[in-house]
């Protein structure tokens, strides 16, 4: 079954601490800090210290993510070189367990984050998000392969389906990637149409799913308790095979 991740989307340190306290009660497998929501993102030392604090408070591994506005993230005042420097600082301090970088970004920037993660012994997740639609299954599979070719430890895709067929394309690509690549992959369709993929994605090879704690970080995320209940039903059914 997929690991369950709870995202943090607070804009202030106080809001983030409240999310971490709630996550500790929910006991997910890991948490994600979407730092692009944080109003203090430009203060590197504060980000590093808060990342360490949030991980300790949640009691589980931390995935550190800056999502760009082109892939559904919040606008920020930092340029891409400054974002890379922020990732390098987080890695140097070993303030996270996994870092998420967008594989569609500048190749030199992806390489810099990869090298920083490797030097610190931190896992690298390379991701791609399409909030406008869903590419064909073949293109999605190529994206998963790109993540592996770029040196990712985990590959992640999230798409916005316009039909049920789009959800099937995402699941098909996830299954093929999980069976043919050497790295774990995570695939999810967003929005109401894609909700089923968050529950059954593990049956198609997805290693990770996201459930909301205080708030969602992407359309279609369901409360983590409801997500867990659905996963438990699938787990029980699968055990009967």
Per-residue pLDDT of the chain (241 residues; tens, 9 = 90+): 899 999 999 999 999 999 999 999 999 999 999 999 999 999 999 999 999 999 999 999 999 999 999 999 999 999 999 999 999 999 999 999 999 999 998 999 999 999 999 999 999 999 999 999 999 999 999 999 999 999 999 999 999 999 999 999 999 999 999 999 999 999 999 999 999 999 999 999 999 999 987 766 777 788 898 899 899 888 887 776 6
**H-type helices in the chain, by residue range?**
13-26, 44-58, 80-92, 107-120, 137-149, 164-180, 195-200, 224-239
Does the annotation flag 43 for ligand binding? no
Q: What is the pTM of this model?
A: 0.94
pLDDT at position 217 is 74
**What's the CATH number for 3-239?**
3.20.20.70
Sign of the dihedral defined by the CA atoms of residues 84, 208, 131, 133, in that order: positive
Does the annotation flag 69 for ligand binding? no
Within 8 A by CB and 6+ apart from 66, the residues are: 34, 35, 36, 41, 73, 76, 83, 86, 87, 100
Q: Minimal CA–CA distance to 188: which of 151, 140, 231, 139?
A: 140
Does the annotation flag 53 for ligand binding? no
pLDDT at position 63 is 98
Please tell me the total number of residues recorded for the chain in this structure. Answer: 241
Active site residue: 27, 109, 129, 164, which one? 129
pLDDT at position 19 is 95
Does the annotation flag 107 for ligand binding? no
**H-type helices in 27-79, by residue range?**
44-58
pLDDT at position 215 is 67
pLDDT at position 241 is 61
Active site residue: 27, 109, 156, 164, which one? 156
pLDDT at position 153 is 98
Which helix (H) or strand (E) covers residue 182, if one does?
none
Does the annotation flag 67 for ligand binding? yes
Does the active-site annotation cover 109?
Answer: no
Strand order in the sheet with 185-189: 185-189, 154-159, 123-130, 98-102, 62-65, 30-34, 3-8, 208-212, 222-223
């Amino acid at each position: 079954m997929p690991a369950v991740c709870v995202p943090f989307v607070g804009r202030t340190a106080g809001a983030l601490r409240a999310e971490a306290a709630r996550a500790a009660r929910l006991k997910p497998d890991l948490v994600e800090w979407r730092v692009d929501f944080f109003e203090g993102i430009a203060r590197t030392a504060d980000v590093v210290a808060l990342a360490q604090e949030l991980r300790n408070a949640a009691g589980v591994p931390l995935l550190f993510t800056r999502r760009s506005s082109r892939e559904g993230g919040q606008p920020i005042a930092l340029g891409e070189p400054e974002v890379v420097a922020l990732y390098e600082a987080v890695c140097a301090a070993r303030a996270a367990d996994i870092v998420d970088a967008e594989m569609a970004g500048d190749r030199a920037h992806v390489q810099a984050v990869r090298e920083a993660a490797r030097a610190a012994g931190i896992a690298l997740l390379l991701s791609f998000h399409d909030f406008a639609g869903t590419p064909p299954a073949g293109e999605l599979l190529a994206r998963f392969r790109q993540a592996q070719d770029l040196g990712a430890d985990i590959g992640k895709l999230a798409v916005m389906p316009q039909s049920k067929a789009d959800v099937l394309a995402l699941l098909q690509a996830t299954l093929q990637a999980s069976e043919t690549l050497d790295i774990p992959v995570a695939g999810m369709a967003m929005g109401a149409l894609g909700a089923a993929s968050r529950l059954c994605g593990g049956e198609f090879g997805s290693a990770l799913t996201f459930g909301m704690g205080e708030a969602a970080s992407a359309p279609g995320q369901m409360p983590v308790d409801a997500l867990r209940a659905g996963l438990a039903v699938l787990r029980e059914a699968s055990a009967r095979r």
